[in-house]
Every structure is written in structure tokens, then in C-alpha cells.
Chains A and B, each alone.
Chain A
Amino acid sequence: MNTPSTLQNLLSFTLAAGLLAAAPTVRADEGRPSVIRIGFPGTGTGNRPVLGGAALSTAHLKGWVEQEFQKDGIRIEWNHFKYAGPGINEAFANGLLDFSVEGDLGMIIGRSAGLHTKVLAGDFMRGRYAVAVPSESSIRTLADLKGRRFAVAKGTAIQLCEVRALAKVGLQDKDVRAVNILGANATDALQTKDIDAVIGTPAQFFPLRDRGVARIIYESNTPEEQISGGFVGDENFIRKYPEITRRLLKLYVKAARFGSDEANRNTVFALWGQDGTGFQYYKESYRKDTMIEHQTPLLDDYWVGRFQDGVAEALKYKLIRKPFDIERWLDRNVLDAALKDLGLEHYWTPYRRDGRPLTRS
């Protein structure tokens, strides 16, 4: 029954078919890519491919990236990952993403697992989180969460927020009945009162609050507990296309500058509001904050400190198996060059580890 020659023919055919089909997917490599693939850790309302809150969001919605690379014939592919960090990490791991903004825990887990990424800038800095309960709930404070069903999006930056929120009142994850529910499913469960509390971003709960369905019992307010994030790039892409990376980061910094200017506050909220959150809720989310603190791209001591704390917490709760050196993960050169090119070396104030501004001498 063995027919070696036939098998050889078959294998040859299959190999030829594979090589032929491989041709269209080979990236143009004449010093520049044919496409730049950029990711976001979430989608807008109704799965729309828009997400606000980041400097990258401003660059995306303004069309600056397309304008910059149009003359080179480089296509920009925007990827909004519904399940945030895990989706971004999977895409990086399989060579399907070149850059992304991401929250801290997703970045930490990816790097710890061996993802070849470099942090190019900070983003989503000092992001607030909130804890909401059904409006008739007897839960009034974080301490009342003990023993209750608490919905957390595990594997995302929100999980670290859960750890910090509970620690504020002397509780740990094991003191609550943590349930892993993502996004809209969590707010659905809140509306039907099948869950006692949910932790997420404040804007996530404002619509429920305004409908009388939910009540926000806590909103974060100190630098050491806020969400942090970054703008990361694939190491191979950065090494292969340094000039493209430099141009992209320059755009990113330009967008961060635009968003940092208080004169543009309403413009930025209207822009970001296209993700379905709406202008009013973005305005309320940032009511206590200055834009410059949130939009700063600096990889200062505060950024490093937040991520070092994140690594320690992730290790403690067995979300990662081994720690890693944060400094070796950063590539400050590209950011420094972008700041210099735009004359913004002194625009943003670097912050100390405790979140207070570093006084310049």
C-alpha cells in the first residue's frame, strides 16, 4: 500500500502551494513596512473601533498617523482588542502587532512571559478606577465588600486596582468572592443585582448611576493606586524600522501635547467621546484632574515606581512567575529624541515615585 513516489508528489505539491500562498503576505521591506499595526486595549460601545483616553486615541481620531505615513505608501491598521491586555499580548506573541497602548498589568504579564516588546512612552497615566454597587445595596464602603461577590476583569489593569482597593481597608482578594467578568457582562450583572459590586473605570458606571441602577461607593484618588499604562512597540519592528518608529513616536508626543493643554480639554473630550462614552462622562471623569498629569508620556520615577509595584503585586498574587528588570524594558532614546525634535523637553514635569512633582534645580 505504500507509494513513495506518490507521497513525494503530494508533499511537493503541498510545499509549492504553501510557498505560492506565502508570497502576498511577505511584508514590503525596502527600508519601510507596507503596514503599521497599532493596537488599543478595548473597544467602544457596541464594539466600535474607537477608544478614548490615551494620547494615541487623539492621534488616531485626528488622522495624524495616516497623514504622516501616506506619502510613504504605508497603510495604518488599527486593532481594538475587546479583551484588552490578553488580546494584545496574543497579537504581539504571534507577530501580528507592531505597537500598542496597554494598561500596566497586561504589559507586565506579557513582558514577564517573554514578549519582545519595548516601552517607548507612558500613557493612561493616573487613570482612576471606581467601585459600584446596585443602587439599593447595603454596601457603603470598601470594607463592606468582605465576603461579597466582586466582579473583576482578571488579567487586565483593573485586577491590580482590585488588589490596591482592598488593601486600603485591610482586605485581600481571598476575603471577597472575586468573579472574573469582563466589560458589559459585569455591568449587566450589576443591573440584575446578580453581583454585589464591580470594579472598573468611573465612566463605565456613570450611565448606570444616572439611570438609578447603580451607586459608586468609591473612586480612587491617590497617585499610588491609580492605573498606569504605556505605549509599547515590538522589538523586531523597532530594530528593523528605527526611522518609522521615531516618526510615529513624534506624532504620539505631539498628540500628548495636544491633550495636555487645558485649552483643548473640551475638544479632546468631544473627540474621545466618539467611543460611546460621550463628552459629558469624559468631562466628569476628569473633573478633579489636570490633563497634563494624565497625558504625560514621560517614563519618570513615578512611572517606573508604579510598574515596579505592579510587578511585585503580580508576583505576590501569582499572576507572573518571575520578576524582570523594568529599566531594561524601556527605550528612552526614542522618546527623548521626539521631545527634542518638538522642543518639549521641559513641557512635562517629571514626577517622583510618590507622584509629587520633581522640583527642577
Chain B
Amino acid sequence: MSLFTRSALVALALVCLGPLAHAADQPDPQELQRQIRKLEESVRALQQKLGGKESAEKAVPGEGNAEATAPVTRDDLNGLRTDLENFKYQYSREREYNTAQSNRPVNITGLVQARAGYSNIAPVAAPTTANGTKLSFNGGNTAVQFSGNLYRDYEEGRNLSYVLRAGANATLPGGGAGANASGNLYVQFANLTYNFLSTLNPEGPLLSLTFGQQLLPFGLEVAAPDELKPTIIPAQFTSALFPNQIDIGLVLRGDLWVQYDYGYSYRAPLLTYIAGVVNGSGPNMTDNNNQKDYFGRVVFTAPAEYNSWLRQLAIGASVYKGTQNTTVNSNGTAVLSGTGIKERLGFDVYYNHHPFGVTYEFVRGRDGRTFGTSVVAKQLETVVSQSHVATVYYTFGSQFLYAQSVLGTASVSSGRFDDWWPKSYQPFARVDLFIPSLGTRNAAYGFPEEIYTGGFNVFFAQTTKFQVNYNWIRNHNSSAPLTTHQILGQFQFGF
């Protein structure tokens, strides 16, 4: 630093300090120290900049330096303005002609499944259909979903959102057809959700009301949408006790006593509760009786921080109480015979502590059914069914740490260019025992069936996966017990 510069700075310091010295009889030492500190920083900055400037001046002058210091002319500015206007016009035109537009924010997602399967015993089919097919390709479940906010509350996130989803069910391996007939497109979800409480603060409780056609939030298996189902073939009780899994009504969801670990954005509400009322007649149908079905669910999640072994341990209980129409078989035709009870009681345990996972679900059903061939001589009986489903799995890979888990871990997706597919690999084993009638066992009441599944999933993205399932199926038909071996493969792509 030159002598002149130093002198100038000292003079500046004296000028600054001078008034202070006269301002009071006893100048504030702290204020003096602060000003001295500031002056020292300024001196250091000047030294640095002087050093940088000298280095730049010593650099060999070249084109780069000349360009960096050349003045911008009016022609350059006018050229830039022209380019900008051209860009604005081009952008506006392409948006108008080449972009799908909507009146409200829309998020389009969907699901495509493709399957192939082999069964050692050809499924029983109607005479007019396939003749003993053991190996076949099948279309799986497909869906396209539109969702978004109809009203976005920037202040507290009390948003009004919608979901509209249309899809087609898969043809179940072994013949038959899923609800709403496989291959036929039908409306799956059509509902509105309003959040009564703020959704912006992860420490706070949530409370929302969903009105319309939606998935029944009963237990684990029924409440999982197609893209999150753990196995290719759903658990037996879902088709037996919840043939539709979707219904029309009102569902209230909320949680309380939230524990939030800031270090990992891990959210764990101590209590989650759900209560709802639906028609009970399934999707895309008007109510078929004068009663409504009611259900409730509570989930207790262990209050634990991210590093606790209790993290993501949840115990739930579900209850469903409804009424269903009963029929008798009169000359091959189903005739309405009245109504009967439709009750379900469920208990589940979910432990997903990466990389291990265990789930268990118990469901008991009580169905009022009528037997006989005429309405007049019907025999009303309550059939009690029971199901146990248990799954253990081990996951390795990086997929699920960056996704929203069912228990509310915050999404922590990484920035990536283009496609990024963090892979996870998941071997699993599952036991699925279903007893359609704890009492009488015959063709009318049904026979117990057990399915043991060994499988392997490869996750490419949250809902994009390849699955291989081996099913060992034992049907305990008292007159003709049957053991079936199945190998199924499915590729699911979620977008």
C-alpha cells in the first residue's frame, strides 16, 4: 500500500473519530472498537483489491481482456432488445400451439403394468374362452390420474385439491375378471379434498375431508393404491371382503401429537385417525340400499427420532360396519332377498425401518348371507371369515430415502439432469391365509386357501418397478384339494 493511501486512511480515521471525541466527555469504547474493526476490514479489502488489480495488470493482454473492457454500443443494446422481443414472440407462439393448457394447475400421473405368468394348472374357464392356458401375457392395472389444487393457500396451505383418476383392472391370473370387468376403463377416483389445518408446518397436526369416490382407507392392503401394492396378486381378503376397495362418500383424516425431527425432516404423528361414511355399493354406482356403511381407523406410530430403532413402527386398527344386499339363487338367477350385515375388523402392524421391513395384517369379516333357492324359504346366516397376511422384506439401495413414505417422511429429492433412476432391490417373503368360513366349509361357503409367495422387486423409481413372484397356492377343498404353482412377472411403470 502506498504512503499516500495509508495517510489518507489515517486521516479518514481521525476525521471519523474526531466528532466522537468531542461528542461526549467519555466516548463509548465499544463504539470506538467497532469503528476501528470496520476500518481494519476496509484496509484489508483495499489491500486485496490492489493485489488483484496488480495481478490483472501483469497478465498478458489478449483478446479476452479487451472484450471484457470494451464499451457496449447502442447498436448492441438495440440488437439485444430485438433478440428479446423475438424470443418473447416465439415463446408465446409455441405456448399457444404446442402446449396443452388448462384452467387450473394440473398434475398428470399414471400407471402402466404389463404381466406375464405361468401356472402349472390351467385355470378353469368358460367353455367359450381359452382352452387350458398355462402361460400367458396379461395386461395389468392401468390408470391415468389428474390432480392439483383448485385453491392454493400460500399463507397456511389450507388447500382445496382434486383427484380424477380413470383406470382399468387387470385380468387376474387364473382366469376371471377384476371388479368393473378387466380391460374396461372406468372412473376410479373422483374427489375433492379440503385441508382444515395448515399443511405448511410439518410440526403441526393435519385434518382433511375428502368428498367423492375414493379408496377405502381400511388397513394396509386395501388402502394401498395399485402402484403401491406389494405383490402382483393382492391379498385374498381384499377381493373377498372388499371386492370394490373404492366407494363414494365422505372421509375425514387427521393426525395428532406430531413429533418432527428437524435433522432428517422425519415426521411421526403419535396418533392418526380416519372416519368415514360411504354408500357401500362400490364405485360408479348409486346406493343400492337405504343404509350407509361406516368405518374408522386409528394408527399409533411410535414416537421416535430418526436414529431410533423404533422409527416407522406403527400399529393400526380398523373397523367397518355396513349393510349389504343379500340374494338367493333361484333357477340360476340371483334374486334379491333382503339385507345382511357387512362387518370387518382389522388389526395391522407396520415396521419399515430401512433396510428391514415387516408387515402383518389380520382381518375378520362377518357377512350376513342368505342361502336357498327362494326368497320365501331363505336361510339367513352370518358367515365369519378370517385372514392373516404377513410380509417380511429387505431393501437395499437408495430409492426410498428420496420419496414420500406412507408415514410422512419428507420428500428429499435430489437435483438431477434428465432421467435419474436410483435403484433399490427388495427380496421378500409373504404368507397369505384366508378362511372364507370359520364354520361350514363347502362349495357354497368356500374353502380355506393359503398362498406362500417368494419374490424379488427391483425399484427404478418410486412407482416404477419390476417384480417376480413365485406363488405356492394350496386350496383346501375337502373333496379335491389343489396345489398350484405360479410364476408371475410384472413390469410397472409410473409416470
Contact = CB atoms under 8 A, between A and B. Distances in A.
Interface in A180-216: 180-181, 185, 188-189, 192, 194-195
Interface in B394-429: 394, 396-398, 401-402, 410-417, 425, 427-429
A263 B265 contact: no
Given A14-B454, A49-B414, A93 B200 contact: no
Given A83-B265, A189-B155, A1 B412 contact: no
A122 interface: no
Interface string B175-213: 000000000000000000000001011110000000000
A262 B54 CA distance: 11
Contacts of B155: 149, 179, 189, 194-195
Contacts of B448: 1
Contact of B401 (A94, A194, A357): A94
Given A81-B414, A91-B401, A180-B200, A11 B429 contact: yes
How many residues of B sit at the interface, in one of the four size bands? 35 or more
Interface string B446-477: 00101010111010000000000010101010
A1 B450 contact: yes
A21 B456 contact: yes
A263 B202 contact: no
Contact of B414 (A15, A82, A155, A357): A82
A333 interface: no
Nearest to B422: A96
A195 B153 CA distance: 11
B415 A44 contact: yes
B263 interface: yes
A85 B397 CA distance: 21
A262 B49 contact: yes
Nearest to A1: B450
B263 A110 contact: yes
Contacts of B203: 180
A63 interface: no
A188 B200 CA distance: 13
Interface in A107-121: 109-110, 112-114
B44 interface: yes
A149 B200 CA distance: 13
B37 interface: yes
Interface residues of A, number: 67
Interface string B27-46: 00000000001001000110
Contacts of A1: 433, 448, 450, 474, 476
A59 to B, nearest CB: 17
Contacts of B73: none
Interface in B348-391: 354
A7 B56 contact: no
B452 A7 contact: yes
Contact of A93 (B49, B307, B396, B470): B307
A89 B200 contact: no
B100 to A, nearest CB: 20
B410 A86 contact: yes
Contacts of B411: 82-83
A225 to B, nearest CB: 14
Interface string A91-113: 10110100000000010011011
A86 B154 contact: no
A109 B263 contact: yes
B470 A13 contact: yes
B428 A14 contact: yes
B265 A90 contact: yes
A94 B354 contact: yes
A83 B412 contact: yes
B417 A79 contact: no
B427 A87 contact: no
A10 B454 contact: yes
B428 to A, nearest CB: 7
B79 interface: no
Contact of B456 (A17, A50, A194): A17
Contact of A10 (B49, B265, B425, B452): B452
A75 B474 CA distance: 49
A44 B417 CA distance: 11
A25 B396 contact: yes
A110 B261 CA distance: 10
Contacts of A106: 263
A80 interface: yes
Nearest to A97: B398
Contacts of B414: 43, 49, 79-82, 87
B347 to A, nearest CB: 21
Contact of A49 (B37, B52, B417): B417
Contacts of B200: 179-181, 185
Interface string B131-173: 0000000000000000000000111100000000000000000
B55 interface: yes
A18 interface: yes
Given A3-B474, A49-B415, A290 B48 contact: yes
18 contacts: A1-B476, A22-B425, A25-B396, A47-B416, A85-B263, A86-B262, A86-B265, A94-B354, A110-B263, A113-B261, A113-B264, A114-B307, A179-B155, A180-B202, A185-B200, A290-B45, A319-B262, A356-B40
Lowest 4 A-B CB distances belong to which pairs?
A: A43-B415, A262-B52, A194-B154, A109-B263
Given A18-B427, A50-B415, A261-B52, 18 more contacts: A1-B433, A3-B474, A10-B429, A22-B425, A43-B415, A47-B416, A49-B416, A49-B417, A51-B415, A80-B416, A89-B264, A94-B354, A96-B398, A96-B401, A155-B262, A179-B155, A289-B45, A292-B48
